[in-house]
């Protein structure tokens, strides 16, 4: 099988017009999350999405990860708009960090902007930039661009793709999408408009690759109603449904089925309460009068009348479901007869945490229903046949797969070739590649811009790097040993110590002789330097690290962090 070729990087052609159209991915290619895309023509930049990703297992102590926005800082005067395709964290989560440097207006649909407003209020940034409402088939005019928003189905409501008309040609950006013929809200992916642009001519299609490995069509969200009914029918006790707070259509199905079984419904979790309030205000979530109760009121009703909709489907440590599972929830104590439904996919990296939650729930006597044992979840991302349909409807001259790990991009490129797009026009790009289109409609990678990941730790942005992560890894694995020594500034003689303190390495009482040996090594280092008459404290500390680290490794095959502290007097 031949693979689609990646464009080779070319040097800028002196004969190529400077006013080329540029597509520059700053995140979201070769990874899940961090979605951020620059569309640039001359001195005008529009930015599509500004997402984050949650830390990987080795990123100890890191809260979130955001894209490197060096290129945007360097060109902030050219940025005319930020356009959001939908309200998921991997598409809007970096906005609070972005707008501290970029003052362009932000465009989004109703639900997207309402979710963003809450996020900006938490960061005390609600009045920093204007938020402008867009609607499906609405047009945003930012000279020389004209951008039409095209409604798409996804696992959150109010998602849009974008048709970006430019002096060089039209770019279609799919956003995150699926093609659901029976969506809960009755609003279909706008295939008609995608097809219209295809008939007029599409220069390039940028399309979501997340589910390209799955054959066929993604199941409709609508089919879950039957699954919920089957589960509810068998349950005689309380039902707890864990679901993403942003998946309003899924929650609406739970509400509708709960009404059929005459159950009260209580929402639990901070993000759940926030999103449900927004959804009800916008008219996207309809709950019959008298059906919703507060979580503290569940004790007033028989178990067979209660449904709790909660956050925590991914096993997040502080989530409501996790607190229930470890018997640390103020109002909900899991007991025999309860049924817990995890109505979401196991996101890669969360499998262990979710498995631990499931085991804990079973230990408390609950029955647990999850994706591996029941069809309790449908994806919000298109499968192969839907991806092929978008390709054939838009019939692009060039195709650029986006939103996925590298294998997803390659598989999507292969799929595009199977629809008839020539291999030379299927472009597998990397974050930072500058894909340029000239006025003849020819494409080339004309350079690169700085990209990367910025780690956010508390209030520190970019302060945590590889060295800090390495130190945290050492501390978590092998602990640390501290040597505190008070010395005479003039003679270098030890006045007090060295005192030895270890944390996470060994229990002092068990191997006191080992720590005493390491103390003797520190004394020997001081004696060697004293004999030379050299009192470079920094060099002495470095020598202590080397000698003690070597000693511990030879004895225990472990490498604790060594922290010598010399206090001159």
Q: CB burial class (10 A; 0-12, 13-18, 19+) of residue 426?
A: buried
What pLDDT, on the 0 to 100 scale, is given for residue 17? 45
Task: Give yes or no for a contact between 120 and 128, defined as CB atoms under 8 angstroms apart.
Answer: yes
Pairing label, strands 398-402, 204-208: parallel
pTM above 0.75, yes or no: yes
CATH number belonging to domain 466-568:
3.10.20.580
Question: What would be the CATH architecture of the domain defined by 221-369?
Answer: 3-Layer(aba) Sandwich (3.40)
What pLDDT, on the 0 to 100 scale, is given for residue 315? 82
Task: Give yes or no for a contact between 62 and 474, defined as CB atoms under 8 angstroms apart.
Answer: no
What's the token pair of residue 320? 């409501």
Q: What is the mean pLDDT of each run of 10 residues along the chain (569 residues)?
A: 37 53 97 95 97 66 79 96 97 94 95 96 92 97 98 97 98 98 96 98 98 97 94 95 96 96 96 96 96 96 97 86 93 95 82 90 95 87 98 98 96 98 96 96 94 71 51 61 81 78 63 76 81 76 83 78 80
pLDDT digits (tens, 9 = 90+) for 394-415: 999 999 999 999 999 999 999 9
Buried b (16+ CB within 10 A) or exposed e, 122-146: eeeeeeebebeebebeeebebeebe
The dihedrals phi and psi of 94, each to the nearest 5 degrees, come to -90, 0
Task: Give yes or no for a contact between 66 and 135, defined as CB atoms under 8 angstroms apart.
Answer: no
Question: Which helix (DSSP H) or strand (DSSP E) does residue 444 occupy?
Answer: strand 443-448
Question: DSSP class of residue 511?
Answer: S
- Distance from chain centroid for Cα 473: 22
Among the options 381, 403, 408, 412, which is catalytic? Answer: 381
Overall fold of domain 21-216+379-461: Metallo-beta-lactamase; Chain A (3.60.15)
**Rounded Cα–Cα distance for residues 227 and 224 (Å):** 5
Look-up of token digits 């390491």: 518
- The CB density around residue 214, as the number of other CB atoms within 10 Å, is 16
379's CB contacts (< 8 A; 6+ apart) are 155, 178, 211, 214, 218, 219, 345
What pLDDT, on the 0 to 100 scale, is given for residue 485? 83
520's CB contacts (< 8 A; 6+ apart) are none
Among the options 90, 176, 208, 478, which is catalytic? Answer: 208
The dihedrals phi and psi of 52, each to the nearest 5 degrees, come to -120, 175
**Rounded Cα–Cα distance for residues 148 and 139 (Å):** 5
What pLDDT, on the 0 to 100 scale, is given for residue 56? 55
Task: Give yes or no for a contact between 21 and 435, defined as CB atoms under 8 angstroms apart.
Answer: no
Domain boundaries, the chain: 21-216+379-461, 221-369, 466-568
CA trace torsion 546, 549, 551, 557 (10° rounding): -140
208 carries an active-site annotation: yes
**C-alpha count within 13 angstroms, C-beta hemisphere, residue 178:** 24
Question: If you compute the radius of gyration of the chain from its CA atoms, what whole number of angstroms results?
Answer: 29
Question: DSSP class of residue 288?
Answer: -
Of 318, 553, 407, 274, which Cα lies nearest the Cα of 3?
407
230 carries an active-site annotation: no
């Amino acid at each position: 099988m031949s693979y689609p070729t990646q464009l080779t990087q070319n040097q800028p052609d002196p004969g190529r017009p400077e006013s080329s159209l540029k597509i520059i991915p700053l995140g979201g290619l070769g990874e899940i999350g961090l979605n951020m895309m620059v569309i640039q023509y001359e001195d005008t930049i529009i930015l599509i999405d500004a997402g984050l990703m949650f830390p990987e297992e080795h990123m100890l102590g890191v809260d979130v990860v955001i894209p490197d926005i060096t290129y945007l800082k360097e060109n902030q005067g050219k940025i005319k708009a930020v356009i959001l395709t939908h309200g998921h964290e991997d598409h809007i989560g970096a906005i609070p960090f972005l707008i501290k440097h970029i003052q362009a207006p932000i465009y989004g649909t109703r639900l997207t902007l309402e979710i963003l407003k809450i996020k900006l209020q938490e960061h005390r940034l609600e009045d920093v930039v204007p938020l402008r409402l867009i609607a499906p088939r609405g047009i945003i005019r930012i000279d020389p661009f004209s951008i039409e928003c095209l409604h798409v189905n996804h696992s959150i409501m109010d998602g849009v793709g974008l048709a970006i008309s430019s002096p060089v040609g039209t770019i279609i950006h799919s956003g995150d999408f699926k093609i659901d013929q029976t969506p809960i809200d009755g609003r279909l992916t706008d295939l008609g408009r995608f097809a219209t642009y295809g008939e007029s001519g599409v220069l390039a299609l940028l399309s979501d690759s997340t589910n390209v490995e799955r054959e066929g069509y993604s199941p409709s969200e609508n089919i879950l109603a039957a699954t919920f009914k089957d589960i509810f029918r068998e349950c005689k006790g309380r039902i707890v449904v864990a679901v993403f707070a942003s998946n309003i259509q899924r929650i609406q199905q739970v509400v509708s089925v709960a009404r059929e079984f005459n159950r009260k419904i209580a929402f639990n979790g901070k993000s759940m309460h926030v999103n449900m309030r927004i959804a009800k205000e916008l008219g996207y979530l309809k709950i019959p009068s008298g059906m919703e109760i507060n979580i503290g009121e569940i004790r007033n009703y028989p178990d067979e009348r209660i449904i709790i909709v909660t956050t925590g489907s991914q096993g997040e440590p502080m989530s409501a479901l996790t607190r229930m599972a470890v018997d640390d929830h103020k109002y909900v104590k899991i007991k025999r007869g309860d049924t817990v439904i995890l109505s979401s996919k196991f996101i890669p990296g969360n499998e262990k945490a979710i498995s631990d939650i499931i085991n804990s729930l079973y230990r408390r006597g609950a029955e647990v229903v999850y994706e591996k044992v029941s069809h309790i979840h449908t994806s919000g991302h298109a499968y192969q046949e839907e991806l092929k349909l978008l390709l054939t409807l838009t019939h692009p001259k060039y195709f650029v797969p986006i939103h996925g790990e590298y294998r997803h991009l390659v598989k999507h490129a292969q799929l595009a070739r199977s629809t008839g797009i020539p291999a030379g026009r299927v472009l597998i790009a990397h974050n930072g590649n500058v894909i340029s289109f000239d006025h003849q409609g020819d494409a080339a990678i004309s350079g690169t811009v700085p990209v990367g990941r910025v780690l956010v730790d508390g209030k520190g942005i970019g302060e945590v790097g590889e060295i800090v992560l390495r130190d945290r890894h050492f501390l978590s694995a092998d602990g640390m040993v501290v040597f505190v020594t008070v010395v005479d500034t003039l003679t270098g003689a030890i006045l007090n110590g060295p005192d030895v303190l270890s944390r996470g390495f060994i229990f002092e009482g068990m191997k006191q002789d080992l720590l005493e040996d390491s103390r003797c090594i520190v004394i020997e280092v001081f004696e060697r330097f004293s004999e030379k008459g050299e009192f470079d404290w920094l060099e002495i500390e470095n020598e202590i690290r080397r000698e003690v680290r070597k000693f511990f490794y030879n004895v225990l095959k472990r490498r604790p962090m060594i922290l010598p502290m010399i206090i001159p007097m």
